Structure 1
Amino acid sequence: MRWVTYRSTDGTERAGLVIDGRIHGLAPGTSVIDLLGDDGQRMAEAASRATDDPGEVIDLAGANLSAPVQPPQLRDFLTFLDHLRNVQAAAQIALDPAWEEIPAFYFANVAAVIGPYDDVPISPGSEWFDYELEVAAIIGKEGSDLHPEEADDHIVGFTIFNDWSARDLQRYEMKLSLGPSKGKDSANTLGPMLVTKDELEPYRSENSYHLEMKGFVNDELMSHGWMDQMDWSWGEIVSYASRGTRVLPGDAICSGTVPTGCLFEHFAAKGPDDFGGWLKPGDVVRLEVQELGATRQEVLPAPPVHRLRTGF
């Protein structure tokens, strides 16, 4: 199944099932998260309603899509260690063994979640604005202290995630060994749709799914990789996320950046003199993941900065 959240012509936000390029909308008042929380019965029943008696049917092309879910919690992991190796090798820094011992993550800003085609202002005060090509697993049912083998069953499906980053702000504030904070606080893209795991079963590999991932800036290919380059499995990172706490229906558990999946890797490899430049107003970023669709977003100028007494 492929589910979207879209804004209808009457202004209401609806959940819809995508069938053959058309959205079969449910009645207003039911969100995609409302379909989660059990072993799949609610979603299956909703799919039957959407197929047999939809509230409306519209074309997917041109639909006003929101993020498929507004996650209660958003954890962004670093599961592609080659991404980090590429960055650190350019600075001749060896990878700390701790990265191979635990799947590190940070909590991202759920209030900054936006849709797959929404414009994205540059973070205030940033001159090093960047995209990140990632995938998010969406939690289908609550769990805590999950074993890795059972944790995978708590995933309902996947969507594209773009962790927009202000690299200059991030580098400065990380000196404090706290964060990231304002370096990754302005925008988090999810979309265009939630694709359930059964749709991806033909691509299942040992630790993930063999899905091609691409990132473009102004139609120039900048990023290319595969989802199953991950060093941690989805079951492992959901298990780790649930340790000592709960994962909730609709939570986004994100993969981190695929190797080559951001401008910062190009900057690290080429150095400031040969680097092609950071994102600027008017740039269009398009992320594509096989079977999951594509996001397309224009970069806008940054809002003004209201300075602190220190000048920051």
Structure 2
Amino acid sequence: MRIARWQHATGIGEGFVIDDTVAPFGDGLTVAEVLAGGLEAARLLHERVTDAATPLADVTLLAPLAPTSIRDFVAFEEHVEGVSAGVEGTSNVADEWYEYPTFYFTNPHTVLAPSEAVSPPVCERLDFELEVAAVVGGIAAGGGVNLTPDEAASHIFGYTIMNDWSARDLQAREMMVRLGPAKGKDFGTTLGPWIVTADELAPFLDDGGFLALRTEVRVNGDLVGEDLLSNMGWPFGELVAYASRNSRVVSGDVLGSGTVGNGGCLGELWGRNGALTPPPLRTGDEVAMSVEGIGDLVATVGPAVPAPAIPPARNRPRLRHRRAF
């Protein structure tokens, strides 16, 4: 099953993509409600679809969900090797990387629709990141805490493609403060074109529980990166389980795999090449991502948007008591 949201002349629709058409769930249900209901309930809805379908060509796809949160992992060793070479001058994967699947939170309020142009901040090193994201579903109220990997895997409703747009020069400055990334990342994350339910991708699972999906990314038609998703350090169930440790995951959460290796982003290639080759993204560039079993996600780079200036930190006296005013 493929699940999507779309804009049509009659308004916003939420439902299934069936062949080359879209059809609403029925009963006014939303994607958020269907995710909460879980995969089995979604399958029953799919069997009962009766409303007239609309040609896919007649609608504009929106992001397939409004995420409750977005966690973005860094699960590909090859990506870390390449990026670290650009940052540290030599390839280095910290021992700590192998211990647990690290992630950061990014902004669920700046999710972009498929084909929607990204409006980056003013920067010199704009980049893309090709990822696959798991979408959580079927977690009852009060659940989703300290899940085992098997329990977590059972709550993966489906998968979508994720482009984690990155302003590398802003990101590098932020992370010198031992915090972030923040403004180098949170201006835009593209999700889509739809959610493919986990059962549809089960034939691609290898013996270790990894999804052996081929991934590709092209910039202006030129192949830049290609990898197998199964080169992750951890399968998705373990990512979800780790996210739930001493915390909570809920239906509608999105968990990105992190950038695939072998050219899944420009930053990795810059590190390996020792130069900004291929060049950073510029206004008008087209980034086209393809993931086997899921589909294509194509977006262009829009003009950079200047933001109001923020002054640097003030050199303040370190007083311990208030002065008289």
TM-score (norm 2): 0.90
Partner-residue secondary structure (3-state), 1:296? strand
Contact 1:14/1:28 (8 A) holds in 2: no
Which runs of at least 4 in structure 1 moved beyond 4 Å after TM superposition? none
Matches within 5 A, 1:1-312: 1-10=1-10, 12-27=11-26, 29-50=28-49, 53-54=50-51, 56-61=52-57, 63-89=59-85, 91-122=89-120, 124-142=121-139, 143-205=144-206, 206-259=208-261, 260-272=263-275, 275-310=277-312
Q: Deviations over 1:81-114 (max 9, x none)?
A: 1110122246224321000001000001000111
**C-alpha distance 229-8 of structure 1, shift in aligned 2 (>3 A):** same
Name the aligned partner's letter for residue 226 of structure 2: H
Q: 1:93 to 1:220 in 2, by over 3 A?
A: closer
Q: Helix, strand or coil for the counterpart of 2:255?
A: strand
Give me the whole-angstrom Cα distance separating, in 2, the residues matched to 1:263 and 1:93: 15
1:26: how far off? 3.3
- CA RMSD, 1 decimal: 1.6
One-letter amino acid matched to 1:2: R
| Per-residue Cα deviation, 1:153-205 (whole angstroms, up to 9, x for no partner) | 01011000010000000001100001110000100111001001111111111
Task: Give the superposition deviation at 1:246.
Answer: 1.3
For 1:309 and 1:35, the matched residues in 2 are separated by 46
- What is the CA-CA distance between 1:62 and the residue it aligns to? 5.2
CA distance in 2, matches of 1:96, 1:267: 19
Contact 2:82-2:91 within 8 A present in 1 as well: no
Alpha-carbon contact 2:39-2:197 (below 8 Å) kept: no
Give, in angstroms, the shift of residue 30 of structure 1.
2.3
Task: Give how far 1:307 is off.
Answer: 1.0
5+ residue gaps, structure 2: 314-325
When structure 1 is superposed on structure 2, of 80-89 and 257-266 the one drifting more is 80-89
Mapped to 2, the partners of 1:147 and 1:232 lie a distance apart of: 14
| Counterpart residue identity of residue 82, structure 1 | E
In structure 2, what is the Cα distance between the partners aligned to 1:125 and 1:310?
A: 18
3-state DSSP of counterpart to 2:306:
coil
Question: 2:80, 2:92 within 8 Å by CA — same for their partners in 1?
Answer: no
Following TM superposition, by how much is the alpha carbon of 1:59 offset from its aligned partner in structure 2, in angstroms? 1.9
8 A Cα contact 1:14 1:29, kept in partner: no
CA distance in 2, matches of 1:257, 1:212: 13
Secondary structure at the counterpart of residue 183 of structure 1: coil
Aligned amino acid, residue 155 of structure 1: I
